[in-house]
Structure 1
Amino acid sequence: MSINGAMNAAMSGLRAAARGTELVSNNISNALTQSYGRRELALSSMNYSANGGVRIDGTTRHVNEGVLADRRFADAAHQNVQTAVSFFRTLEDVTGIAGDPEGLSGRLASFEESLITAASRPDASERLTDTVVDAQRLIDGLARASSDVQAIRTRADGQIAQEVVTLNTALQQIEQLNKQIITTQARGGSTSGLADQRQAVLDTIGAIVPINVVPRDNSTIAIYTEGGAVLLDISAANIGFERQNTVTAYQTLDGGTLSGLTLNGQDLRMSALAGGSLGGQFAVRDTYGVQAQTQLDALARDLVERFADPAVDATRGAGDPGLFTDAGASFDPLDEVGLSTRLALNAAVDPTAGGEVWRLRDGLGATTPGPAGDSTLLNAMRDTLDTMRIPASGDFGTGSQSMSDLFSSFSGMLSSTRAGAERDLTFNAARLTEWTDLQLSQGVDTDQELQNLLVLEQAYAANARVIQAADAMLETLTRL
């Protein structure tokens, strides 16, 4: 080998060592970056006559696609369950747990206790007033719970709209990155950085909707949902959704009063985008929220019907409402939806509406006060709360229950559902952690990278020594 050839070979070695050192540095600094793929320098030998050297063929990006896909599915499942847990925790805070005086069961117990206290001294107007106040507190509790359920559904509807925007933006970004990767490859450039960006965007999409990523020609990809919907194949699909400013108890997806999703203008089956945070928000708006409203309305209906029984108060006329009314009127069984929001105290006993509290003792239809010591009606009201009857609606089973049994059943079912969702969340969080750790462990190994750095330093020193030796020989020759 000539001196010139040796110097050229050593210079190529220096370039390769410098480039390799740069990649090691990037690998180590991005060891905990989830979307980063470990880089490795691709080298080959050059043999030109008696000369040699090292050719840099490019950079290879290493990613375990199988682990990455499983980690995305775990992330989607975690986001989905997290949304459900947040809903049930919020609802439980609103409706209260057993023993909470401000919860629904606590307010019912206070009303029942007030009836007992008033029956012991029916002549004491302050006790009658307290009973009216506690009845109104029970009404307010149901109304607030119903209002909060609809507020949660409204927020879920708004979150769906935001996630659809994020999803559409991300799909367009993937389409553009696919094009940039094709262009960069055609120019002979490295696409590792673009692949990292694409993986980060895919992680965003995967948290919203569970996806399958399919490789295509020229290092591009296509994206399909688990349900089979095509989100991107050459061109990005457009997801459509119409947001509602306010969601009410009367609005449902099945009823056609709330928006579903469209894919390129065509209605999209909800099962096609099941899972992920988007599916979780739809579950809150269209399943969990609707079920909670149905249960609250069933509680309100049972309360209204118990006190509307003619056997409780014979002073009322036929068809007149009882102590608890549907916005002041009698309850229509065909109009149960939203009853918990419309529930109101009978104006005949409500001082704020011009009523008199003595009618709680003497009858809603009484025109003049009766015997001050007569507790018959108060006892009848107290007894009707304990009467065992089969609920006319709601998911409370087919057995006979008292009013307190119904409220306890509602709280118990809510607590049980919340606990089950939290167990699922714990499982999915652990699964996500395991897949994330596995992905990172199969990514950059900092110990191995440091070993590679030592090898590169040795290679750099060896090539530098060759250049020094060649320089010394040239200097010797020029002095001859």
Structure 2
Amino acid sequence: MSLSGALYNAFSGLRANTRAAGLVSTNISNATTEGYGRRTLELTPGSLGTSGGVRIAGVIRHSDPVLVSDRRVSDASLAHSDTMYTYSKRLESLIGESDTAGSLVSRVTAFENSLLSAATNPASEQRLENVATAATSLTQTLNALSDEIQQSRQNADSAIADQVTTLNETLARLDQINGDMVKASSTGTDVATLQDERNRLLDSISSIVPLRVVERDRGEIALFTMNGAVLMDGSPVEIEFSEVNAIGAAMTLSAGDLNGLTVNGIPVNSTETGMFAGGSLAAQFEIRDVTAVENQAELDAIARDLIERLGPSGPDTTLGATDPGLFTDAGIAFDPLNEEGLAGRIQLNSLVAPDSGTVWRLRDGLGAATQGEVGDGRLLQSIAAALTEATVPSSASLPSVSRSFVNHISEYSSSVAGTRVRAENERSFLSAQNTALSELELSKGVDTDQELQNLMQIEQQYAANARVMTVVDELMERLMAI
């Protein structure tokens, strides 16, 4: 080999060593950077007509597309489960545990106990006031639960709007990166940084909807949901959603009161069986249109059962057929055709409201013209008995089985608690699965110990190439001196 050939070989090696050392430095500094892929230098033998050496063919970005895809699907499943768990946990905390003061069950128990206490001494105005206070606390708890359920639906509607905005903005950015990738592939520019940014963006929306990424020519990607909706293929779609200002108990998607998703102006199925199913976006629709609606319907049915037990056909014989009973629908008689949202409107009859001065009507009847025998506690006993009597509820939202009012409350509380337990178990499993996939993905990322070993090898190779250049320089000086 000629001296010039040896010098060229050593120079090409130094150049490759310098670039490789820079990549190692970049790998180590980004070891914990989200979406970063480990880089290595791709080298090829020197081209024909040279004395050998090495040529830098490019930079290789290492990743496991199958593992990344599995982890992103897991991100979506975990986000869906976490959203459902958060809702069920919130509702359970508002209902409260049965033995906790202020819980729904304890409110019913306090109302029953106040009736029994007043029945033992019906002449005591204080005990009658306690009945009115306990009844008011019960209605206020039902009102608060109803308000919270509707607020959860409103929050879900707002979250859908925010997530749709995030999807559209991210898809627009991914489309720009697709264009940059095409330009880079045409000029031979390193695309590893663009790939990092693209992966970061994909990860940012992987929890909203489960993604399927398909590689296209020249570095472009197409993006689909796991259920087949096209998000980007050549150009991104436009996902649209209109948020509503306030959601009431009677407002539903099927009735046209609420909005679903549209893709490029075409309505799509927004339910758990639709093309966007599986992530946090679908979970918000499930809360808004299914779960919270069912919770509200059961709560309204319970409120209806309470009103009807103590209404005109109940123990108070002083009531007329159209008179409001002990509990009313916002102060008026309950209309069976207006059950939706009843739990948010139920109130104690103002004739026996606390501090009204007419709580004696609890003892003598709401329709009584004057006070009766102060020692007569039969009506109070009958009201208490009506609460414990097993009857078939009128509402279709409750099972057609004879149960007491207390049993309806207990079963509702238990049902919500059971839903929370199931959601928590699913969330724990999916969280463990997601953690395992994330750790496996990280294990295939930057290993700082290995990178330091690589750096030591690069230093040795650099020193060897530098030594070759020094020797060549010395030989050329001797030749010039001859």
With structure 2 as the length reference, what TM-score do the two structures score? 0.97
- The amino acid across from 1:110 in the alignment is A
Unaligned runs of 5+ in 1: none
The answer as to whether partners of 1:297 and 1:336 remain within 8 angstroms in 2 is: yes
Mapping 1:67-78, distance limit 5 Å: 67-78=67-78
Q: Distance in 2 between matches of 1:17 and 1:104?
A: 72
Greater shift, 317-326 or 374-383, is seen at 317-326
Aligned partner of 1:204 in structure 2 is 204
- The verdict on how the C-alpha distance between 1:3 and 1:191 changes in structure 2, with shifts beyond 3 A counting, is same
Q: CA deviation at 1:478?
A: 3.0
Aligned partner of 2:352 in structure 1 is 349
- The amino acid across from 2:395 in the alignment is S
Q: Which of 322, 340, 344 is equivalent to 2:343?
A: 340
Q: Which of 264, 276, 279 is equivalent to 2:279?
A: 276
Greater shift, 276-285 or 375-384, is seen at 276-285
Q: Distance in 2 between matches of 1:322 and 1:223?
A: 60
Mapping 1:420-431, distance limit 5 Å: 420-431=422-433
Question: What SS does structure 2 have at the residue aligned with 1:60?
Answer: strand
- The verdict on how the C-alpha distance between 1:394 and 1:465 changes in structure 2, with shifts beyond 3 A counting, is farther
The answer as to whether partners of 1:294 and 1:394 remain within 8 angstroms in 2 is: no
Q: Distance in 1 between matches of 2:325 and 2:333?
A: 8
Aligned partner of 1:317 in structure 2 is 320
Q: CA deviation at 1:235?
A: 0.4
Q: CA deviation at 1:391?
A: 2.3
Question: What SS does structure 2 have at the residue aligned with 1:42?
Answer: strand
- The amino acid across from 1:301 in the alignment is R
Q: CA deviation at 1:449?
A: 2.4
The answer as to whether partners of 2:97 and 2:103 remain within 8 angstroms in 1 is: yes
Q: Distance in 1 between matches of 2:129 and 2:49?
A: 109
Aligned partner of 1:408 in structure 2 is 410
The answer as to whether partners of 2:312 and 2:324 remain within 8 angstroms in 1 is: no
- The amino acid across from 2:131 in the alignment is T
- The verdict on how the C-alpha distance between 1:340 and 1:355 changes in structure 2, with shifts beyond 3 A counting, is farther
Aligned partner of 1:55 in structure 2 is 55
Q: Distance in 2 between matches of 1:242 and 1:48?
A: 64
Mapping 1:104-123, distance limit 5 Å: 104-123=104-123
Aligned partner of 1:256 in structure 2 is 256
1:188 aligns with 2:188: yes
Question: What SS does structure 2 have at the residue aligned with 1:59?
Answer: strand
Aligned partner of 1:417 in structure 2 is 419
Q: CA deviation at 1:395?
A: 4.9
Q: Which of 387, 402, 408 is equivalent to 2:389?
A: 387
The answer as to whether partners of 1:325 and 1:345 remain within 8 angstroms in 2 is: yes
Q: CA deviation at 1:251?
A: 1.1
Q: CA deviation at 1:50?
A: 6.4
RMSD: 1.4
Question: What SS does structure 2 have at the residue aligned with 1:80?
Answer: helix
Question: What SS does structure 2 have at the residue aligned with 1:57?
Answer: strand
1:84 aligns with 2:84: yes
Aligned partner of 2:45 in structure 1 is 45
- The verdict on how the C-alpha distance between 1:292 and 1:279 changes in structure 2, with shifts beyond 3 A counting, is same
Question: What SS does structure 1 have at the residue aligned with 2:371?
Answer: coil
Question: What SS does structure 2 have at the residue aligned with 1:337?
Answer: coil
- The verdict on how the C-alpha distance between 1:45 and 1:327 changes in structure 2, with shifts beyond 3 A counting, is same
Aligned partner of 2:295 in structure 1 is 292
The answer as to whether partners of 1:396 and 1:409 remain within 8 angstroms in 2 is: no
- The amino acid across from 1:433 in the alignment is T
Q: CA deviation at 1:309?
A: 4.6
1:106-144, Cα deviation, whole Å (9 max, x unpaired): 111111110011101100001101110110000000000
Q: Distance in 2 between matches of 1:448 and 1:127?
A: 79
1:240-278, Cα deviation, whole Å (9 max, x unpaired): 000112211111111110110000011011211011111
Question: What SS does structure 1 have at the residue aligned with 2:42?
Answer: strand
Aligned partner of 1:466 in structure 2 is 468
Q: CA deviation at 1:394?
A: 5.7
- The verdict on how the C-alpha distance between 1:239 and 1:122 changes in structure 2, with shifts beyond 3 A counting, is same
Q: CA deviation at 1:94?
A: 1.2
Question: What SS does structure 2 have at the residue aligned with 1:319?
Answer: coil
Query: Which contiguous aligned blocks of 4+ residues in structure 1 show a shift greater than 6 angstroms?
Result: none
The answer as to whether partners of 2:301 and 2:398 remain within 8 angstroms in 1 is: no
The answer as to whether partners of 2:149 and 2:292 remain within 8 angstroms in 1 is: yes
Q: CA deviation at 1:47?
A: 5.0
Question: What SS does structure 2 have at the residue aligned with 1:40?
Answer: strand
Q: CA deviation at 1:396?
A: 4.2
- The amino acid across from 1:88 in the alignment is S
- State percent identity of aligned pairs: 44
Question: What SS does structure 1 have at the residue aligned with 2:359?
Answer: coil
Greater shift, 33-42 or 78-87, is seen at 33-42
Aligned partner of 1:175 in structure 2 is 175
Q: CA deviation at 1:205?
A: 1.9
Q: Distance in 1 between matches of 2:10 and 2:449?
A: 28
Q: Distance in 1 between matches of 2:257 and 2:313?
A: 38
Q: CA deviation at 1:181?
A: 0.5
1:164-212, Cα deviation, whole Å (9 max, x unpaired): 0000001111100000011111111000100110011111121110111
- The amino acid across from 1:292 in the alignment is N
With structure 1 as the length reference, what TM-score do the two structures score? 0.97
Q: CA deviation at 1:356?
A: 0.8
Q: Distance in 1 between matches of 2:398 and 2:425?
A: 24
The answer as to whether partners of 2:312 and 2:323 remain within 8 angstroms in 1 is: no
Q: CA deviation at 1:334?
A: 1.2
